[in-house]
């Protein structure tokens, strides 16, 4: 089955860290750029970060630049999002998404990250 499954979310205090994982299956993972998109409770979609298929290039939203790091392990079909210096405004459901030509044609179910003291 073609799917993306996120894990690693949870409750963390402001200033803390969390590492999200997204495992892909059912397709050639190493052929696709991968993205993270987040959605705060009751709000819209916000793009967070992108990594190219070979991991050579990464891009970040201004709001997370310098705090978040995206990486991937093509041998394990997994993309990661290391989140440091977390703020309350980072509270959201985080989705990983597969890119095909730039648009996102496959999404995970999402994982909740709550930043609160």
Partner 1 sequence: DIVMTQSPDSLAVSLGERATINCRASQSILYSSNNKNYLAWYQQKPGQPPKLLIYWASIRESGVPDRFSGSGSGTDFTLTISSLQAEDVAVYYCQQYYGSQFTFGPGTRVDLK
* Footprint on this chain of partner 1 (rule: CB under 8 A): 35, 37, 44-47, 50, 59, 61-62, 95, 99, 101-105, 107-110
CB of 113 to partner 1, least distance (A): 15
Secondary-structure breakdown of the chain: helix, strand, coil percentages, each rounded to the nearest 5: 5, 55, 40
C-beta of 13 vs 43, nearer to partner 1: 43
Give the whole-angstrom CA distance, residue 81 versus residue 48. 10
Q: 């030509």: which residue's tokens? A: 101
| Degrees to nearest 5, angle at CA 86 with 82 and 88 | 140
C-beta of 15 vs 90, nearer to partner 1: 90
C-beta of 17 vs 28, nearer to partner 1: 28
Strands of the sheet containing 3-7, edge to edge, are 3-7, 18-25, 78-83, 68-73
CB of 101 to partner 1, least distance (A): 7
Beta bridge partners of 46: 38
C-beta of 5 vs 91, nearer to partner 1: 5
CB of 8 to partner 1, least distance (A): 17
CB of 16 to partner 1, least distance (A): 26
């Amino acid at each position: 089955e073609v799917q993306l499954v996120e894990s690693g979310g949870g409750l963390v205090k402001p200033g803390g860290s969390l590492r999200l994982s997204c495992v892909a299956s059912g397709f050639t993972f190493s052929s696709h750029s991968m993205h993270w998109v987040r959605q705060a409770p009751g709000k819209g979609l916000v793009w967070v970060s992108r990594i190219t298929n070979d991991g050579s290039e990464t891009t970040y939203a201004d709001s997370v630049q310098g705090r978040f790091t995206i990486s991937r392990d093509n041998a394990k079909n997994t993309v990661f999002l290391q989140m440091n210096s977390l703020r309350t405004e980072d509270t959201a459901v985080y989705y990983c998404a597969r890119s095909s030509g730039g648009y996102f044609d496959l999404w995970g179910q999402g994982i909740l990250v709550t930043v609160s003291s």
